[in-house]
Structure 1
Amino acid sequence: MNRGLVHLTCCVLLLGGSGALVWGQANQIQNPEFDNGLTSWGRYGTTGYTVSVVTGAQLSGANAALIDVTDASVTSIGISQGGLKFERGKKYPVGVTAKADKEREMVILIQLHKPEGPNWIDIVLQRVALTTKPQTFLFEYTHNDDNMADRPTWSASIYLMLKGAWWPMAGDTVPSKVWLDRVHVGEAPPLADSTNPYAYEPKPADGATINETAAVLEWRRGDFAVTHNVYFSPDAEAVRAGTVAALPAATERIVMGFTPPYAAGLTAGQTYYWRVDEVNEAHPQSPWQGPIWSFLVRPRTAYQPVPADGSKFVETDQDLSWKPGLGVLFHTVYRGDSAEQVANATTGGWMTVDPRWDLGPLEANKTYYWRVDSFTGLATHKGPVWSFTTAGPGGGLKAEYFNNRDLSGPAVVTRTDPRIDFNWGNGDVPGRNSPDPKINVNDFSARWTGELAVDRTDTYVFTVTANNGFRLWLDGRPIIDFWDNATTETRRSGPVPLTAGQTYPLRLEYFEGTDVALVQLLWESAVQSRIDTRVREIVPRGALGLPLKAHSPVPANGAVNTAWSLDLAWTAGDLAKQHEVYFGTNATAVAQAGPTTAGIYRQRLALGTTTYTVSNLEWGRTYYWRVDEIDTTNPAGPWKGSVWSFTTADFIVVDDFEDYTDAEGNRIYETWIDGWTNNTGSMVGYEDAPFAEQKIVHGGKQALPLKYNNEQPPWYSEAERTWSTPQDWTVGNSDTLILYVRGQAGNGPERLYVSLHDSTGKTATVVHPNPSAAQATLWTPWRIPLVDFAGVNASRIKKMVIGLGNRASPKQGGAGLIYLDDLRVGK
């Protein structure tokens, strides 16, 4: 990011002011109150601070983001989010609620990026003074530049910054903690109840390592707690299930070790798990079950070796490293070719104070054994024997590079990349500042496909760091998606359990816009508070293989609510000449099936045919399928595929609004007719593209925005859809129409209603039972029994009308904007 021009057009309004801000613009910030963790948020900077979602900050609602600055000497600290879109002449409220553990400043920055230059423009730049008390900071930005919908290469991002090379601020040279909540560009989220009934802020911190065999457990109490029940055990599942005896605590403090039930002290090298349930016998919702926390008691021996014990994909230039045991003064390292040799070694070790050893070049495809003994001054603690295996020749992913941002057209360069660990920098020399002399330095994209082999059964977390957009699939499931990324960001997947000896299809897509071009793929154990954890590292070459198996299934592995008849599709393995399809309702049976398995083996398809149609599936049932790649002339084949699954819907989709685009003929308002045609006060969609709502959605990526204006005749507003063929809403014994509705607090209080028309012309209307439904700020299902539409034949639905006001007896009313999503019929 470069320092740019300031283009702020309006004023600053701090908490307590009453400036005339212009509301009504939908909030463009995804996950504005951190209710979904850090989803949609990226980091500005990679070191010197941590970002986490915490409870109990009492800003707005249960959650807040905590930025904990531990090293204020780094140059970049903050969080960010891209994807902002602005229209010329419109005004946008910009706000955040924040506090700090000490007085300091924070920069609120919105940057507009123009590839044609000037590259980065600071369109909002404000320094705000944080205190230990929550404050709401509110500004207004007027966009006097071109409509971003007309400039598809432009992008805009917001940064909440505590350190920046170009943006000095008071307090940025000392460590501090800052809590953030209720971020908005557009309409502010409603101020939510900030009471928190759960225990929070554990000490030791979750995942910490302690240096004593006793622990003082502390936490912050929930708002309603009178007493506390503490569950503590080395067995995570026992803590989760509550099968270990609860220890009552009258205060937010309890000692573990040297008192029962751990009178002998905690065990060095053991990971302990704990949770605190808050109790108030007088409260009907008590107890409030807390989250699971963990800590590691530092062992007396060396631990957490790198490479991790049992690793099979180690490069031949790998150094050995480890974490030192409790109280160690120096280490003695033994290395050999057998476990027995290393276990029995007493001489010939290498002594070192530094917990690292450069072995020099190693042999390929060989298993090494090693041990680290720890001397404390009083005793030598013999370490366990660890092993690792170096990678053989080969390995890597198929890489395809394109001279555009959207992976369109044939690849310009196709090659094998041994790993995904690239930093091409920011320059203008193709091949140095891009992957290949044939690839642009800006505006290029890449797709890596192949197989991920797993050497250790564990639960993993995958991390992608890149500039710009990226999305990652594993075993046919999307696990990271941050395509709309304007700068260098990092995203982590959720926990993914993987099994040693198995391989999983992997695909990473990436695009570079302008500025620095970099992309990395890393993995690590999900739980780091273990002595045998795999620390974060680049996914190594030996774990990666070319895409020989079928991959990229459609629907995605694990998809839910699919149609009952659909085309299964996949991408062929690179050496496939034919495809064998297996399909059934039992995962084990599908995994074990062969060409002679009746009822599961379906068909052998020719090269070039990568779809298979299934129809008349059962409602709400999970199906499993597999595709084996065949080449009868290749002794390495066949390549047995992974077992994928999908679950059919148990409802009829009326409209989920996912298929509408901005192209003429497929716009949302061309199907859902509004006041421009039916002469009511409604407007479906926005005036400029994108016409559908793409930020505030209940499911998928789009919703229908419906503006209503009953301040003018005819004093009611309707959106209507007509089907060319009557719809049967009784399939599967369906009996209920379901709509998901969300309004805004400032909306006029108009009644919401639905009218259905059947093919014979009969009509019935149902009014929402909540007169304030248009003002509800959360997605709320409205379930309407079909029998309530008296006289209408639900098997012959011809038209549906969604309205606000009173069509039968119209009178002047209010105006506003509501959102509709996931219209369906079910039970």
Structure 2
Amino acid sequence: MCGRTLLLVSLGLLLCVTAGDARAELVAYWPLDEGSGTTVGDLMGMWDGTITGDVSWIDGHQGTALDFPGGNNFVDFGNVEIGPSMTLSYWCFNTTKTFERPLGQQAGNYTTVPGWAVYSRDEGEGGVWFRVHGADNAWDGGDIIIADNLPKDEWYHLAFTFDGETRELKGYYNGELKASKICEEGRSIYPTPSDLRLGNTGAGGAYTGALDEVAVWDNVLTEDEILAAMDGHIGGPNPNAARPEPEDGALYENNWANLRWKGGAFAVSHDLYIGTSFDDVNAGAEGTFIGNMGGVFQVVGFPGFPFPEGLQPGTTYYWRVDEVNDANAASPWKGDVWSFWVPPKKAYEPVPADGLEFVTADTSLSWTAQWKTVMYAVYFGTDADAVAAGEGGPPVMDASFDPGPLAGGTTYYWRADIFDGVEWIKGDVWSFSTMPEISISDPTLLAWWKLDEEVGATAVDWSGHGNHGTLVGPQWTSPARLGPGLNFSAGDYVAIDNLSYSRADLTEVTVSAWVRTSSGSDQYIISFDRNEYWRLEINGNGGGQGQVGWDVMTSTGQVDYGSVSRIDDGRWHHVCGVFDNGRLTIYIDGLAEPSATGGPTYGSGNMRFGFIGANSEAGSFDGNRGGGNPVAGDMDDIRIYDRALTQEEILLVMRGDLLLAWNESPADGSTADIENAMPLTWSPGDNANRHDVYFGTDRDAVADAETSDTTGIYRGSQSGTSFSPAEGLQWGGGPYYWRVDETSTDGTVTKGNTWSFLIADYLVVDDMEGYNDIETGEPGSNLVYETWLDGYADPTNGSTMGYAVPFEPTMETGIVHSGHQAAPMAYNNVGAAFSEVTRTLAPQDWTAHGVQTLSLWSYGDPANTPAKLYVKINGVKVNYDGPAGNLTLAEWQVWNIDLTVVDTNVQSVASLAIGVEGVGATGTLLLDDIKLYRDPPELAP
């Protein structure tokens, strides 16, 4: 809780308690600093909240915060008692400007039931409003609007007060009063039957953004008290210095300054530190301490004062004020480190950015200039030396320049000089390169975003059709799956230029992408509008939690279709949606999921532009996106074809550059058990006849090494496609990194991607992750009941492996111990002698690597009949060592079996059975994570 003070008692700061009301004015304070888990604590101790759904802990304005993805994801604090007056204070980070309700206590949108809510406004309106309910259904009788265009890329503070007696409503933005009104008679917040919720108030408009430092009072705070809350001091006077001038992070155009601040509540004097290094000022390093001040100001940048030579252009200055009172044991109160930036006197922040590639041919140039500027001179061309030497250029009055049409695939150099009325200030020479001419090699490949650019705001379309994307928010990341890629957070997207749909007779399309996410909630991969053309997504209308959705508007109606397999395991997966004359098929990692059917064509005929990472309702480039969020993670190599690819072609698309080594094992980013990790294997790139192998434990060293390496990273050139490190792999070791460069028959070397893997501290018997519902005989089919044989064909065996509900998944995906699914095992000993499922194994050594414990996780149900659990190893029965009633517990329980006392040859285990015995016993267990450990039973995870 750095930077935050909660003073409840002591120093005469007891919270006010009014006569006849035992509730303190500060009702609840949720710092949101837990950082993990599903409980959100109230520092007042009364109103803890519970997280429902997929809400993420992130770095916040102070400590951690909560990030909401929209949808049915929220925090519920119960029916928090506030009123009849109130103050609400919180910090907000919201990149998405749509109609949403971040927080509130309301029974509906327009309702006569007392309550309140915050409403964010859409992009066109901007700002936010606060509504008090309790009267008629009109919106304007109890609303105020803060109409400022609130920022998308930084935290900002909002506060609202409502006086229950006078009905005066006020709104503050970053501590400044922005709106106020007297609400109509009848408007009231108290008493309300509604729960206070963050993220989704239950009345629609679920929030997509982050919240931090939420607090509510049942009285009206003054402006000074709101400023104190904004400064992080909730519940009492602020002992720290606050409200710096210049403001923290300010751009400051002068070579001297009068630093000022508001003194802390108990300060007698003030220790001032200032310097050009954050770390030095924060640590109070030598040379940063200016002195102990009696006043709350200090001049700098004049002779006789700190920095007598003046503040230097292009320099960031950091400063800190510690508040001092020698009579107080809590003194000194260390202050936050503030900063201000003195900009350069020459031009800076060129657009396009210096060194930027893939700039469009119709770009214009601009730059930033501060201080006093009269005019500019611009020098431009393809010769860097000529641009650097240029003099006497024609004057330009604005900080922009139109160079005219530019040639493709060309590097240009330019310079902007500034005349300040006294002298010309020569600028730096900048450069950029225009988009290369990209030829069309496959006319059916409409768009191909490799996402390899790494810098800039353009995703280049390498299909040759010019359907480039404009980045709005996502960040370049490297490595991704096939080189660099893009990382998306809530509100990020890429607007697709040029490409649009406006026909109703389209017969085929293929859309593919590499995706990595750990979230199973609604996420958009790429869309040209689900109910006009198509949308590829996770969850959403077509899929379930973590499944891929492929939604197509066909000639006979909307088809929302989903995969059986999930991809929300934090690993890279290739997802592909195909529409082929009425047949819809999803491919995951090259394997087909069960198909769906619709009309023979798709499309509505309405104009639609598209987005990567967003829904689309856009009739023009970068138009209306509707609601929703992108993949919560990374994407790479996205393609659109106007034909239906075959499975063989999709497998080629997955590879990206066909000259690269591929199909690596262990898979990139995976955790392998030591039995299956070696040898490392791969499939060769096309035309490769030699393979240079690099291996080590330092990613950068492996990525950068060459054949001349002498540190041991380079492991030599070989003709085969497998490799075993001579030093072996360590139990529980890693991460390990490796790379394979391919040498083709013509001598060309293609540098490989850098892959990584971990070695587990266990051996997997069955983690239940590989099973699916693909029908027997179909490619990729792996049905759990075909591996674990149950009592289907044996009337004496009452077991059923997997859920047996028609058209429903066989595996359990909601309640899992780890990973994304568990296996249900039903037992029914009414008329059957026992219930047992058996898996036959290729003989396994269950003593290898020193393992001695078989660990089995199970989850019961209160409706189960208590019964005795057992396993059979090679047919030898081992009875559960806990009470029979444990089968009724709705919680994950581990049974650790000491293999050293099992009366069978555990060096050659060929079968494992799991059973339940007890006459008349019925119920269902969930099974997960059957593993072998070295650790004693009590330490096995």
1:189-245 superposed Cα distances (whole Å, 9 cap, x missing partner): xxxx9999x9989999999663467799999x9xxxxxxx99998668989999999
Q: CA-to-partner distance for each residue in 1:329-362, whole Å, 9 max, x for gaps?
A: 6543333555554445441144132x33210123
Q: Offset of 1:561 from its aligned partner?
A: 1.3
Give the stretch that moved more between structures: 318-327 or 232-241: 232-241
Report the Cα distance in structure 1 between the residues aligned to 2:695 and 2:656, rounded to whole angstroms.
28
Deviation (angstroms), 1:624: 4.5
Aligned position for 2:766? 655
Return the match for 2:749 from 631, 638, 650.
638
Note the C-alpha offset of 1:290: 14
Q: TM-score, normalised by structure 1?
A: 0.51
* Deviation sequence 1:402-424 (CA, Å, 0-9, x none): 99xxxxxxxxxx95556643356
Alignment partner, residue 592 of structure 1: 706
Q: Deviations over 1:455-486 (max 9, x none)?
A: xxxxxxxx987553379xxxxxxxxx995587
* Match 1:371 to one of 381, 399, 415: 415
Q: CA deviation at 1:659?
A: 1.0
3-state SS of paired residue (1:383): coil
The 3 A distance-change label for structure 1 pair 439 and 386 is farther
Contact 2:510–2:576, Cα closer than 8 Å, also in 1: no
1:309 CA drift (Å): 1.4
Q: Which aligned pairs between 1:81-480 and structure 2 lie closer than 5 A?
A: 127=109, 162-163=121-122, 174=147, 181=198, 210-211=251-252, 258=300, 268-270=313-315, 298-326=343-371, 328=373, 330-353=375-398, 355-375=399-419, 381-390=425-434, 393-394=437-438, 401=445, 416=464, 420-421=468-469, 422-423=496-497, 427-429=501-503, 440=508, 444-446=510-512, 466-467=527-528, 468-469=535-536
Quote the offset at 1:323 in angstroms: 3.2
Letter in 2 for 1:661: N
Q: Which amino acid aligns with 1:469?
A: L
- 1:550 equivalent to 2:660? Answer yes
Counterpart selection for 2:693 from 582, 592, 608? 582
Which SS does the other structure have where 1:732 is aligned? Answer: helix
Q: Which residue of 1 aligns with 2:822?
A: 704
CA distance in structure 2 between the partners assigned to 1:789 and 1:654 by the alignment: 17
Measure, in 2, the Cα distance between the counterparts of 1:165 and 1:361. 33
2:693–2:738 CA contact under 8 A, matched in 1: yes
Measure, in 2, the Cα distance between the counterparts of 1:447 and 1:340.
43
For 1:593, give the aligned amino acid. Answer: T
Q: 1:389 to 1:800 in 2, by over 3 A?
A: same
Q: Which deviations, in whole Å up to 9, do the C-alpha atoms of 1:261-283 show, x marking residues without a partner?
A: 98988754346899999xxxxxx
CA gap of 1:392–1:65, structure 2 versus 1, over 3 A, is closer
Q: Is the 8 Å Cα contact of residues 209 and 295 (structure 1) preserved in structure 2?
A: yes
Measure how far apart 1:661 and its partner are: 0.6
Instruction: Report the equivalent of 1:560.
Output: 670
Give the C-alpha shift of residue 733 in structure 1: 1.4
Q: Is residue 60 of structure 2 the alignment partner of residue 35 of structure 1?
A: no
Q: How many residues align?
A: 600
Tell me how far apart the structure 2 counterparts of residues 549 and 604 of structure 1 sit (CA, whole Å): 15
Say if 1:232 and 1:696 are closer, same or farther in 2 by CA, change over 3 A. farther
Corresponding residue to 1:732 among 849, 866, 875: 849
Q: Residue by residue, what CA displacement relative to the aligned partner does 1:674-713 show, whole Å, maximum 9, x if unpaired? A: 899965899758775333344666655x22165999xx99
With over 3 angstroms needed to count, the CA separation of the structure-2 counterparts of 1:356 and 1:255, relative to structure 1, is farther
Give the aligned partner of residue 757 of structure 1: 872
**Does the CA-based 8 Å contact 1:239-1:275 persist in structure 2?**
yes
Q: Distance in 2 between matches of 1:547 and 1:559?
A: 20
Q: Give the letter aligned to residue 67 of structure 2.
A: A
More deviation, 388-397/333-342 = 388-397
Closer, same or farther: CA 767–268 of 1 in aligned 2, 3 Å: farther
Change in CA separation of 1:265 and 1:552 when aligned onto 2, cut-off 3 Å: farther
Retained in 2: the 8 A contact 1:756–1:792? Answer: no
Within 2, Cα distance between the matches of 1:391 and 1:811?
71
Confirm or deny: 8 A CA contact 2:801 2:823 kept in the other structure.
no
Preserved CA contact (<8 Å) 2:280 2:288? no
Relative to structure 1, is the Cα distance of residues 398 and 243 closer, same or farther in structure 2, using a 3 angstrom cutoff? farther
5+ unaligned residues in a row in structure 1: which ranges?
A: 1-28, 38-52, 57-61, 67-78, 85-91, 110-124, 138-159, 186-192, 222-228, 278-288, 404-413, 431-436, 450-462, 472-480, 488-504, 523-537, 540-544, 606-610
Letter in 2 for 1:825: Y
> Helix, strand or coil for the counterpart of 1:660?
coil
Q: Which amino acid in structure 2 is aligned with residue 723 of structure 1?
A: R
- Structure 1, residues 47-98: CA drift from partner, whole Å, max 9, x if none? xxxxxx6668xxxxx63238xxxxxxxxxxxx646xx9xxxxxxx9998999
Contact 1:693 / 1:705 at 8 angstroms: preserved in 2? yes
3-state DSSP class of the match of 1:799? strand
Q: For residues 508 and 679 of structure 1, do their structure 2 counterparts lie closer, same or farther at Cα, with a shift above 3 Å needed?
A: closer
The answer as to whether partners of 1:301 and 1:383 remain within 8 angstroms in 2 is: yes
Map of 2:838 onto structure 1 = 722
Counterpart amino acid of residue 210 in structure 1: L
Shift of 1:319: 2.0
RMSD: 7.5
Shift of 1:386: 1.7
Cα 1:334/1:416, change in 2 over 3 Å: closer
Counterpart CA distance in 1 for 2:550 and 2:313 is 44
The code of the aligned residue for 1:34 comes to: S
Cα distance change, pair 446–586 in 1 and its aligned pair in 2 (3 A): closer
The aligned counterpart of 1:457 is none
Question: Distance between the aligned counterparts of 1:230 and 1:816, measured in 2?
Answer: 68
When normalised by structure 2's length, the TM-score is: 0.46
Change (3 A) 1:670 1:817: same
Task: Report if aligned partners of 1:343, 1:385 keep a CA contact under 8 Å in 2.
Answer: yes
SS state of the match for residue 657, structure 1? coil
Separation (CA, whole Å) in 2 of partners of 1:464 and 1:713: 47
- Aligned residue type for 1:656: D
Rg comparison, structure with higher value:
2
Q: In structure 1, how many angstroms separate the alpha carbons of the residues matched to 2:671 and 2:716?
A: 24
- Rounded to whole Å, the distance in 1 between the matches of 2:837 and 2:319 is 54
- Whole-Å separation in 1 of the counterparts to 2:691 and 2:392: 58
For residue 309 of structure 1, give the secondary structure of its aligned residue in structure 2.
coil
